[in-house]
Amino acid sequence: MSRVAIVTGGSGGIGRVVAERLAKDGQTVVVAYAGNAERAEDAVDAIIAAGGTASAFQADVADETQVEALFEDTEKRYGGIDVVVNTAGIMLLSPLADLDLADFDRMHRTNVRGTFVVDQQAVRRLRPGGALINFSTSVTHIAVPNYSAYAATKGAIDGMTLILAKEMRGRDVTVNAVAPGPTATPLYFIGKDQETVDRASKAAPLERLGQPDDIAEVVSFLAGPARWINGQVIYANGGVV
């Protein structure tokens, strides 16, 4: 029987590549998206064209009613849920002193509340042998200026992940977080000049930016064979410190 995965933020960026990778692994994938139906359907079409099984569902991750509907629809359509991957998130950069608090509240709503709401449904519904994978950031570790508010939201996810893994005792469900470093997605390039990008490309010993496929590979491992990795934040950043 195929494992069933929900990928929030699955219509673009890292989320889409994660959705495609899990489908390639043989999982049935639900692409959860916030607002761009055309982009979500494009992701579903790409998965189906490659021989996979997928569908799309619109839900604001911070809205508990919409998220509950996402999980209920997935269970009715496919019979259960085995994997939940939380890639949905927003990143607004500024020095702490200059940050508009409305931007901080927007990030907190999507990144922290959104992850919490999705996790709450996930832990109530994941089948034995399941995996919950949150998304953090290596910025909590490497302390890049202008990322203070974003890192604060992701630090909350780290704490949530580690505690939730222990709260799932006896359920045979793993809970981990993936913390990408600089990764070549449209979100990453916003507001960065070429000099900044070049400098980031040299930060890792491998001397390149991460690619979405690099991150999807880690998610694939945690979502499938990695049954003895639990309660961890995995820094997928090519060795940036």
Q: Which residues are CB-contacts of 74 (< 8 A; sequence separation ≥ 6)?
A: 4, 6, 30, 57, 81
Mean pLDDT of 187-209: 85
Q: In the prediction, which pLDDT does 217 show? A: 98
Please identify which of the residues 78, 147, 150, 188 carries the catalytic annotation. Answer: 150
We find that the CATH architecture of domain 4-235 is 3-Layer(aba) Sandwich (3.40)
Mean pLDDT of 187-212: 86
Q: In the prediction, which pLDDT does 114 show? A: 98
The domain ranges of the chain are 4-235
Cα distance between residue 91 and residue 101, in whole Å? 13
Query: Among 48-57, 112-121, 193-202, 223-232, where is mean pLDDT lowest?
Result: 193-202
What percent of the chain has a predicted confidence (pLDDT) above 70?
A: 100
Q: In the prediction, which pLDDT does 6 show? A: 98
Q: In the prediction, which pLDDT does 190 show? A: 77
Choose from 98-102, 181-185, 186-190 the range with maximum mean pLDDT: 98-102
Q: In the prediction, which pLDDT does 203 show? A: 86
**pTM (predicted TM-score):** 0.95
Place of tokens 């996810």: 157
- 131-182 confidence digits (pLDDT tens): 999 999 999 989 989 999 999 999 999 999 999 999 999 999 999 999 999 8
Q: In the prediction, which pLDDT does 202 show? A: 87
> Catalytic annotation on 147?
no
Q: What is the DSSP letter of 190?
A: T
Burial class (CB in 10 A: 0-12, 13-18, 19+), 159: exposed
Q: In the prediction, which pLDDT does 135 show? A: 98
Cα distance between residue 43 and residue 54, in whole Å? 9
- 76-102 confidence digits (pLDDT tens): 999 999 999 999 999 999 999 999 999
